[in-house]
Amino acid sequence: MPCKLSVNVNAIAYLRNRRHVPWPSVVDLCRVALDNGSVGITVHPRPDERHIRRTDVSDINRLLRAECPGREFNIEGYPDERFLSLCEAEKPEQVTLVPDDPTQGTSDHGWDIAANRELLTGIIARLHMGGMRVSLFVDPDPAAPALARVIGADRVEIYTGPYGGAFTPADVEREFAKVVATGKAAEAAGLGLNAGHDLTRDNLPALVKALPNLQEVSIGHAVVADALMFGMGETVRKFRTAIGDL
């Protein structure tokens, strides 16, 4: 089954929030992405609402339910009580748990699962009670998927920042090998596999080819950057081509 694209719209909201105006419209651009084949929409609301706001989460959820049956909503974030209550209210198809500090500019590491085992086990069980699939954000470490399986996660999302940020051939080869080994470990553990961070149309094809079990890539920065050149609709189609979904 081809890998699918979920468009992260945080950067769109961040641009809108630079002014006290309602544009660019997050919902309208979500609609364009979905109309052009995105499997769903990803958001990462943070406590200070510097990009995605709680109202955006509700607005996007309404769009998906009313106009796009079968598409998925993925809400990612650090699982404090406010975040968990938001997820329980909106009931996305997937919740991706990330170990972010509220002050971080963006996600930059995966969970230390062993150190947070008790916390994560309870949170995963709570989200499962609400009917939500749970993905755990992990570093490119082949030991992580087995630990994620033990505590009840349905999927892991590999943090691909080091791979996406590698530029010398040696660095690319090293980081690529880590991601692939982790993806294969996820398959061996019986977990679904997602990936995200600094993925582009250039570095995606090799990853998708090496990991036939890769189900979803969540991409925001590169999609929005390319959309400035090509428009959102054409950009989504270009990314779908890069992952073999078009």
Provide the annotated active-site residues.
44, 76, 197
3-state class (DSSP) for residue 147: helix
> Measured between alpha carbons, how far is 217 from 205 in angstroms, rounded to an integer?
12
Residues 6+ apart with CB under 8 A from 55: none
Question: Helix/strand/coil (H, E, C) string of 212-241?
Answer: CCEEEEEECHHHHHHHHHHCHHHHHHHHHH
Position 64, amino acid: L
Q: Please give the DSSP secondary-structure letter assigned to residue 177.
A: H
Closest CA to 14 of 48, 54, 50: 50
> Measured between alpha carbons, how far is 137 from 148 in angstroms, rounded to an integer?
10
CA dihedral 151, 2, 197, 122 (to 10 degrees): -20
